[in-house]
Amino acid sequence: MWRMARPRKPLLSRDRIVEAAGALVDTEGLGAVSTRRLAAALGVSGPSLYNHFRTKDEILDAVADAVSARVDLSMFEPGAGRDWRSALHDWAHSYRDALSDHPNIVPVLARGPGRRPAGLRVADAVFGAMTEAGWPPAQATRIGALMRYFILGSAVGSFAGGFVDDEAAYDPSDYPHLGQAHLLAERRREVDEGAFETGLAALLDGLALQHEALTGPATGG
Amino acid sequence: MWRMARPRKPLLSRDRIVEAAGALVDTEGLGAVSTRRLAAALGVSGPSLYNHFRTKDEILDAVADAVSARVDLSMFEPGAGRDWRSALHDWAHSYRDALSDHPNIVPVLARGPGRRPAGLRVADAVFGAMTEAGWPPAQATRIGALMRYFILGSAVGSFAGGFVDDEAAYDPSDYPHLGQAHLLAERRREVDEGAFETGLAALLDGLALQHEALTGPATGG
DNA sequence: ACCTGAACACCGTTCAAGT
DNA sequence: ACCTGAACACCGTTCAAGT
């Protein structure tokens, strides 16, 4: 038997692993991802993954970062000529859209950017755009944080989907105002999107009041 | 050997299990809770727990509900004579305080109230108070949802704590605006509380604008 | 009624061995 | 360099057996 000239093409790569892990997370949930199942989906044995990632957690981090990378940041570019408020509005929607395409990975994303490049790029863009718009650094940090709270909170658990679809679960003597709550689950998307838009508008309206107080009222110089 | 008159006092109860599980979640995190470890802390063997709960998930649900039960709802009582805005403000703080005392259980709480009594009582109180304050039902639902997004988002993952405490992680050529980001971790509480208060104030200011539009401007009848 | 040990079908990760 | 099988120390849950 002749010797191989070189080890033939590797069966695995970081990208292939991340892609397969993402698909598994999306279709079966975070809890369904085990190193053995993921490896099987890739046609290899479990321990092979450890040649490319140090831990299973690092794989999930990479999946989360791939989702962060899909968030549109173009509205924050200096050349875009956007005011801070409308940029924040569009970015929040883009962020929420990215997360709602892959809701199962949100708990991993909630751990924060850490050392994930795409997560850090998001934080960098928001902070940069807010300071550029005249917000003091401490306020720019707070805006990045509070927007993250709201967007992540809306993605980590659906409001409407958190209620069971069973009228008997809402005894009127215990919960006098929840007589219609059993209808929430089937209007899930509508309810959650309405709440997100209402909350986002309120948040931006409230911040605009603060920004006016900062730069002086529009009519008062 | 004489027969026991009756099976002697049970070693376990639902309350004891929930208490021990809560302590384990608080001190070692959600991931550290296994049925075997929890049983050992209670001085019994793993399968014993299944005489009191159907699954491990039900135990964690009960722990989450115990946290929900600590949220103050008195500001929503009709007799309290509170306006919707200040009631919402105080409730949000009480909710956040309860969660920040037990951050590790937040992912479970994020699954929604489901059939958890304390979770349902919270939803009932908020919805009831908002409709009472003149908000149309659809808006009252949205307010319950968006407040939950914000509070849960602030609890599920610290903003400041999501950044690593390592200046070298923020290469200025990659992240031009994150030069100070390594300082966030050590100011974690201050940053997160400031962002929460700023965001909450903005949210309530924004909602107040909507409420005025609803009832007519204060000076215009 | 309530607790037990044994068992089943899983986990994440390490490691020596192969090519 | 990269993949493998075997092994270690775990999991959640079921079940027959004990009292």
| Residue B3 in this model has a pLDDT that exceeds 50 | no
Q: Are B146 and A121 within 8 A, CB to CB?
A: no
| Residue B138 in this model has a pLDDT that exceeds 90 | yes
pTM: 0.94
Query: Which nucleotide across the nucleic acid strands is nearest to A51, CA versus C1'?
Result: D2
| Residue B124 in this model has a pLDDT that exceeds 80 | yes
Q: Are A204 and B205 within 8 A, CB to CB?
A: no
A215 band by pLDDT with thresholds 50, 70 and 90: confident
d(CA A138, CA B200): 16
d(CA B105, CA B155): 10
**What 3-state class would DSSP assign to B163?**
strand
Q: Which residues of B touch A170 (CB under 8 A)?
A: 120
| Residue B93 in this model has a pLDDT that exceeds 70 | yes
Does the CB of A192 have a partner CB in chain B at under 8 Å? yes
User: Given this model, what pLDDT does residue B217 score?
Assistant: 63
Instruction: Give Cα B19 to chain centroid, integer Å.
Output: 17
> How high does pLDDT run on average in chain B?
94
Q: How far is A17 from chain B (nearest CA, A)?
A: 24
Interface size between A and B, measured as CB pairs under 8 A:
206
The predicted-structure confidence for A104-157, as pLDDT tens digits, reads as follows 999 999 999 999 999 999 999 999 999 999 999 999 999 999 999 999 999 998
The closest CB to that of B199, out of A125, A146, A170, belongs to: A146
A112 CB below 7 A from strand C atoms: no
User: Given this model, what pLDDT does residue A217 score?
Assistant: 63
Q: Which residues of B touch A164 (CB under 8 A)?
A: 114-115
d(CA A39, CA B136): 52
Q: Are A178 and B123 within 8 A, CB to CB?
A: yes
Q: A23, A201, A177, A148: which is closest to B163 by C-alpha?
A: A148
Does the CB of A115 have a partner CB in chain B at under 8 Å? yes
* Angle ∠(B72,A173,B140) on CA atoms, nearest 5: 55
Asked if A195 and A154 touch (Cβ cutoff 8 Å), the reply is yes
Phi-psi region of A142 (alpha: psi -120 to 50; beta: other; left: phi over 0): alpha
Q: How far is B44 from chain A (nearest CA, A)?
A: 27
B1 band by pLDDT with thresholds 50, 70 and 90: very low
Question: Which two three-digit tokens encode residue B18?
Answer: 């929930």
Question: Which two three-digit tokens encode residue B55?
Answer: 């699954």
d(CA A29, CA A36): 15
d(CA B50, CA B59): 10
Please state, in angstroms and as integers, the Cα–Cα distance from residue B176 to each residue in A115, A125, A138, A141, A145, following that order.
15, 9, 17, 15, 18
Q: Are B174 and A107 within 8 A, CB to CB?
A: no
Q: Which residue has the tokens 């007799």?
A: B79
The predicted-structure confidence for A160-191, as pLDDT tens digits, reads as follows 999 999 999 999 999 999 999 999 999 999 99
Identify residue A194 by its one-letter amino acid code: G
| Residue B31 in this model has a pLDDT that exceeds 80 | yes
Cβ-based contacts (< 7 Å) between A 8-37 and strand C: 33-37
d(CA A170, CA A34): 37
Q: How far is A19 from chain B (nearest CA, A)?
A: 24
User: Given this model, what pLDDT does residue A74 score?
Assistant: 98
Asked if B148 and B97 touch (Cβ cutoff 8 Å), the reply is no
User: Given this model, what pLDDT does residue A34 score?
Assistant: 98
d(CA A170, CA A17): 45
Identify residue A144 by its one-letter amino acid code: G
A83 CB below 7 A from strand C atoms: no
Instruction: Give Cα A141 to chain centroid, integer Å.
Output: 18
Looking at residue A3, the DSSP 8-state letter turns out to be: P
Query: Which nucleotide across the nucleic acid strands is nearest to B50, CA versus C1'?
Result: D13
The predicted-structure confidence for B51-79, as pLDDT tens digits, reads as follows 999 999 999 999 999 999 999 999 999 99
User: Given this model, what pLDDT does residue A5 score?
Assistant: 30
Q: B133, B26, B40, B53: which is closest to B86 by C-alpha?
A: B133
